[in-house]
Amino acid sequence: MEIKKHILIINGPNLNRLGSREPGVYGAKTLDDLQNELETAASALSLDVSFKQSNSEGEIIDFIHESPNRHEGIILNAGAYTHYSYAIRDAIASVDVPVIEVHLSNVHARDDFRKESVIAPVTIGQISGFGFDSYKLALHAFRTNTDRGNGK
């Protein structure tokens, strides 16, 4: 019997506001909707998923530190921390769990400050601009390819 990979999906600051937060940018669906859709997508791919959301940098770092020996991969939407949190970047570099960076919006087509990701160099890749599908594409990537390093 196949042992299922366990993927941790972390949503960072303000993503608990999905559904009411700038719906023109982020859509009308909520974080619960996202998590329900990802449960379904993961089960179709024979992956196990669990979810964390935090508005705090330190808590996101703790989730990353706790991931070795529990999770085979992390899908991380670090929200605005993506663009300036060297502490989250260092947390990713400190564990041997592969991380995929995701964004609902296309961060390269928005404000200049969103074009830089300080975490991208320590992830295995970035998926940006496909709404909920960004996370689903990341699940597919973990299904087919986990045997790479963490970009470090």
Catalytic residue set: 26, 103
Q: Which is nearer to ligand DQA, 80 or 87 (CB)?
A: 80
Say whether residue 136 binds ligand DQA (CB under 6 A): no
Q: Which is nearer to ligand DQA, 70 or 108 (CB)?
A: 108
Angle CA(22)–CA(106)–CA(82) in degrees, nearest 5?
85
Half-sphere exposure for 51 (CA within 13 Å, toward CB): 15
Query: Shortest distance, CB of residue 42 to ligand DQA, whole angstroms?
Result: 19
State the Cα–Cα distance between residues 87 and 70, nearest whole angstrom. 21
Q: Which is nearer to ligand DQA, 48 or 125 (CB)?
A: 125
Say whether residue 77 binds ligand DQA (CB under 6 A): yes
* H or E segment and range at residue 31: helix 31-44
Main-chain dihedrals φ then ψ at residue 75, nearest 5 degrees: -105, 120
* Interaction pattern, residues 11-50, with ligand DQA; x per rule: CB under 6 A: ---x------------------------------------
Give strand ranges (E) for 3-106. Answer: 5-11, 47-53, 73-77, 99-103
Q: Which of 41, 91, 92, 104 binds ligand DQA (CB under 6 A)?
A: 104
Asked whether the beta carbons of 45 and 73 are under 8 A apart, the reply is: no
| Residues in contact with ligand DQA by the rule CB under 6 A | 14, 77, 79-80, 82, 103-105, 107, 114
